[in-house]
């Protein structure tokens, strides 16, 4: 563990850590344990992307206004004291946007290569979000094809994987060969994003947002909203299991990626969210509760996973094995994707 002397933090650094804790339930813990070389760098990366997402998520901002904000969000890092006051009062990270100046102040102090990575990813993610925002304005279904679903996940999460990988390699904490395997770091982000999209389906739908691709749900129901009606219970379960199958296809690449990490705190930072994700997919798999209420893995299970995934790759793989086994046990021959799910599980087991 890397002990940190908080009394040496500048007021702006203190503020950054305050907003990190306020804006992320799950990430702040793993970020704060990072090696000192990457601690502030990844904190700032997180806060910049959280800022972008706070603009993207605010449906009260008209698309015409939102588009340039998203596309030029990287430029804001050059404007001392920049602040954004136009989020609706209920937007959960409005507070960060009001005090964004602390992010800008600390950003100027980190090494140039890290600054360049953060700006580059913010630029590309902002452009991707803007394209998607315009598209969904003209299309009630949001995501139509699986290819579009993959593209959206690439913009909002795969790119985070790329940026973090470049940081790990810059810090000499990751095998540089990871940079030549874009599929692997895209899968690291996409696996987390798809799990989030599966689990949050109900919450997102009541927020008038649909991320499940029509190409998948239309095989099971005519209207997306039918998934939440008790008379379509079986269809909803089969649809969600097809979504889990789609996400599971990234699991082996995530394990492969983690084999390329060379520093314990970076390994933990990567492994904890991934093992939480496989546990969450297991929880969602053929669990009708996800259509009725918000579901979450228990505190106890989360604690156990934290302990296990912070030892080594072998033990993190054990967590994957356990949940793959549990998914297999819940798989049903009546499910149209029974065979494909069994094969996808086999592909992960082959790695571990």
3-class DSSP string for 235-250? HHHHHHHHHHHHHHCC
Does residue 196 interact with Mn ion by CB under 5 A? yes
The total of other beta-carbon atoms located within 10 Å of residue 311's CB is 14
Does residue 27 interact with ligand PS7 by CB under 6 A? yes
Does residue 66 interact with ligand PS7 by CB under 6 A? no
Cβ–Cβ under 8 Å, residues 80 and 104: yes
Cβ–Cβ under 8 Å, residues 201 and 291: yes
- Neighbouring-strand partners of residue 261: 174
Contacts of 275 (CB under 8 A, 6+ apart): 305, 308, 309, 316, 319, 320
- Catalytic one of 45, 152, 155, 224: 152
166 binds, among Mn ion, ligand PS7, none (CB under 5 to 8 A by kind): none
Separation between Cα atoms, residue 199 and residue 294, nearest integer Å: 8
Name the token pair of 31.
């970020």
How many residues bind to ligand PS7 according to rule CB under 6 A? 21
Sole binder of ligand PS7 in the list 17, 19, 45, 107 (CB under 6 A): 45
- Which residues, numbered 69-108, are part of the site for Mn ion (CB under 5 A)? 72, 75
Helix, strand, coil percentages for the chain (3-state, nearest 5): 70, 0, 25
Cβ distance to ligand PS7 smaller for residue 156 or 247? 156
Rg (CA), the chain: 20
Sole binder of ligand PS7 in the list 196, 304, 326, 342 (CB under 6 A): 196
Contacts of 188 (CB under 8 A, 6+ apart): 161, 164, 165, 253, 254, 257, 270, 274
Cβ distance to ligand PS7 smaller for residue 186 or 238? 186
- Catalytic one of 173, 199, 211, 320: 199
Q: Is 269 an active-site residue?
A: yes
Cα 9 to chain centroid, rounded:
28
75 binds, among ligand PS7, Mn ion, none (CB under 5 to 8 A by kind): Mn ion
Does residue 131 interact with Mn ion by CB under 5 A? no
Q: Is 209 an active-site residue?
A: yes
Sole binder of ligand PS7 in the list 96, 97, 160, 341 (CB under 6 A): 160
Does residue 212 interact with ligand PS7 by CB under 6 A? no
Name the token pair of 158.
């795969």
Tell me which residues are annotated as active site.
Answer: 152, 199, 209, 269
Footprint on this chain of ligand PS7 (rule: CB under 6 A): 27, 42, 45-46, 49-50, 53, 156-157, 160-161, 164-165, 185, 188-189, 192-193, 196, 270, 273
Footprint on this chain of Mn ion (rule: CB under 5 A): 53, 56-57, 72, 75, 196, 200
């Amino acid at each position: 563990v890397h002990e940190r002397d908080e009394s040496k933090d500048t007021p702006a650094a203190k503020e950054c850590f305050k907003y990190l804790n306020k804006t992320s339930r799950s990430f702040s813990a793993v970020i704060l344990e990072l090696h000192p070389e990457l601690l502030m760098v990844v904190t700032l990366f997180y806060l910049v992307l959280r800022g972008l997402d706070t603009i993207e998520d605010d449906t009260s901002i008209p698309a015409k206004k939102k588009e340039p904000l998203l596309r030029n969000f990287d430029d804001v890092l050059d404007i001392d004291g920049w602040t954004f006051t136009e989020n609706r009062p209920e937007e959960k990270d409005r507070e960060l946007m009001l005090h964004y100046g602390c992010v800008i102040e600390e950003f100027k102090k980190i090494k140039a290569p890290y600054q360049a990575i953060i700006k580059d990813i913010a630029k590309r993610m902002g452009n991707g979000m803007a394209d998607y925002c315009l598209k969904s304005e003209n299309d009630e279904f949001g995501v139509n094809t699986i290819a579009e679903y993959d593209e959206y996940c690439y913009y909002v999460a795969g790119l985070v994987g790329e940026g973090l990988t470049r940081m790990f390699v810059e810090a000499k904490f990751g095998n540089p060969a990871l940079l030549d395997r874009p599929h692997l770091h895209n899968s690291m982000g996409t696996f987390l994003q798809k799990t989030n999209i599966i689990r949050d389906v109900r919450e997102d739908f009541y927020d008038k947002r649909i991320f499940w691709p029509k190409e998948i749900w239309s095989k099971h129901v005519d209207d997306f909203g039918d998934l939440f009606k008790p008379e379509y219970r079986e269809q909803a379960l089969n649809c969600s299991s097809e979504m889990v199958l789609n996400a599971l296809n990234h699991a082996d690449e995530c394990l492969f990626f983690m084999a390329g990490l060379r520093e314990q705190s970076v390994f933990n930072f990567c492994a904890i969210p991934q093992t939480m994700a496989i546990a969450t997919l297991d929880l969602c798999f053929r669990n009708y509760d996800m259509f009725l209420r918000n579901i979450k893995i228990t505190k106890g299970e989360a604690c156990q996973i934290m302990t296990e995934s912070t030892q080594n790759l072998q033990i993190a793989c054990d967590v994957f094995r356990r949940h793959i086994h549990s998914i297999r046990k819940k798989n049903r021959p009546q499910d149209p994707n029974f065979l494909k799910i069994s094969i996808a599980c086999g592909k992960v087991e082959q790695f571990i």
